Amino acid sequence: MVGSNIFRRVVQAIVGFAVGWLVIFVESMLCETAYGGPFTILVSFVMKFFFAGLATSAAFLIGLVLLTPGIRDFWRRLGFWSLLLSAAGVCVMVFASKLGLRTVEPVSNYRMMPFWVWSICLFSVVFPIVNLPIYHETDA
């Protein structure tokens, strides 16, 4: 039972990493230009893996708090509705320009959000996926 639980959490972390990287990649395709040449593009590509891994690691570690008894019961009752937090993070990233969160950098023409807003959005996308609650027959 413990082994399957650890395996499930590792698989969820891998899926969360993949989704986080995909969200960052699509956002950068829409908001970045090729200003700076090939090295800038290469570093940008590597940084996408770094930030997706950082968000996934933070979600995994903070998700350990969800294992405490009172919080665990609430999280299980929440169930798959917790995925709405991911949708909210994606919606903020998509509509950031209309919300006034994205500004155009004059030299490179990148459309950028403040880092703290962007990182909270990325964390909110990855966190529910990495810590998706499970349903037990005994919870019914």
Q: For 81-114, write each residue's pLDDT tens digit.
A: 888 889 999 999 989 888 988 888 888 778 888 8
Q: Mean pLDDT throughout 111-128?
A: 91
Quote the CA–CA distance of 134 and 114 in Å, as a whole number: 34
Q: 106: domain range?
A: 2-139
CA pseudo-torsion sign 56, 57, 59, 60: positive
pLDDT at 79: 76
Categorize the per-residue pLDDT at 137 as very low, low, confident or very high, splitting at 50, 70 and 90.
very low
* DSSP codes, 15-72: HHHHHHHHHHHHHHHHH---TT-HHHHHHHHHHHHHHHHHHHHHHHHHHGGGGSHHHH
Answer yes or no: is pLDDT of 15 > 70: yes
CB 18 within 8 A of CB 48: no
Between 39 and 91, the higher pLDDT residue: 91
Looking up tokens 């999280």 gives 75
Phi, psi of 112 (to 5 degrees): -115, 145
Q: Mean pLDDT throughout 54-73?
A: 87
pLDDT at 50: 94
Answer yes or no: is pLDDT of 135 > 70: no
Q: How many domains does the chain have?
A: 1
Pair type for strands 111-112 and 103-104: antiparallel
